[in-house]
A and B are shown apart, each in its own frame.
Chain A
Amino acid sequence: DAKTTQPNSMESNEEEPVHLPCNHSTISGTDYIHWYRQLPSQGPEYVIHGLTSNVNNRMASLAIAEDRKSSTLILHRATLRDAAVYYCILSRNYGGSQGNLIFGKGTKLSVKP
């Protein structure tokens, strides 16, 4: 399985942008890049996903490198509620496959007031 590499932890100030990096140098052409986050004492929640083009939604933006070997999750204005562990995950788009997500340790984001 293709692996991802993320920093163990990052800090941010409230209301400032945050850029969370992820390296996935062994990504294959059919791998989607997903980001989930896990708030304290909660289950993971979906943030965003993409294949090749940059993506935006109400929660965040995903910037994907041209060679797809790295990506960056961008939180435009961090709030205290954004303090969580962020997981960068590759999933495979095989028809009929189990489709499970392979979680690493993620990046623990701390947000300072």
Chain B
Amino acid sequence: NAGVTQTPKFRVLKTGQSMTLLCAQDMNHEYMYWYRQDPGMGLRLIHYSVGEGTTAKGEVPDGYNVSRLKKQNFLLGLESAAPSQTSVYFCASQPLAGTSTDTQYFGPGTRLTVL
């Protein structure tokens, strides 16, 4: 049981380049989330998904797109990277929100630098 995995672990982009971050979970969880964490700050929600084929915006969605074509995968895309998107990106999954156990399981993070 690998839990939540993220690919890649590190990436350096130039301004204007595009890339996709992959999150995979093998726990059959319904909900998945993408957060970003800037230095010295807590995590902020970018986008989330409540099930296969669905996505929704979080607190800071601008400049990002997401897709959830398969239940186990949640992709985060940057179409035209900007230096302001330099951050550490965390993916998380959750069995089902709205229950008494809203425990989220986090991946190890992707450290992205945009020059």
Instruction: Give residues in A with beta carbon < 8 Å to B.
Output: 32, 34, 36, 41-46, 49, 51, 87, 91, 93-106
Contact = CB atoms under 8 A, between A and B. Distances in A.
A96 B94 CA distance: 13
B80 interface: no
Contact of A45 (B41, B100, B106): B106
Given A34-B102, A43-B90, 7 more contacts: A32-B100, A44-B90, A49-B103, A98-B56, A101-B104, A102-B45, A103-B43
27 contacts: A32-B100, A32-B102, A34-B103, A41-B109, A43-B4, A43-B90, A43-B107, A43-B108, A43-B109, A44-B43, A44-B104, A46-B103, A46-B104, A46-B105, A49-B101, A51-B100, A87-B42, A94-B98, A95-B98, A96-B97, A96-B98, A97-B97, A97-B98, A98-B58, A99-B97, A100-B33, A100-B48
Interface of B: 4, 31, 33, 35, 40-45, 48, 50, 56, 58, 90, 92, 94, 97-109
Counting chain A CB atoms within 10 Å of each CB, the highest count among B40, B98, B99 belongs to B98
A-B complex: 7 closest residue pairs judged by Cβ atoms: A99-B97, A103-B42, A43-B106, A95-B98, A103-B43, A91-B102, A46-B103
A34 B103 CA distance: 8
B106 A44 contact: yes
B42 A42 contact: no
Contacts of A94: 98
B3 to A, nearest CB: 10
Contacts, number: 70
Nearest to A46: B103
A51 to B, nearest CB: 8
A41 B107 CA distance: 11
Contacts of A96: 50, 97-98
Contacts of B4: 43
A103 B41 CA distance: 9
Given A42-B108, A43-B107, A103 B98 contact: no
B62 to A, nearest CB: 17
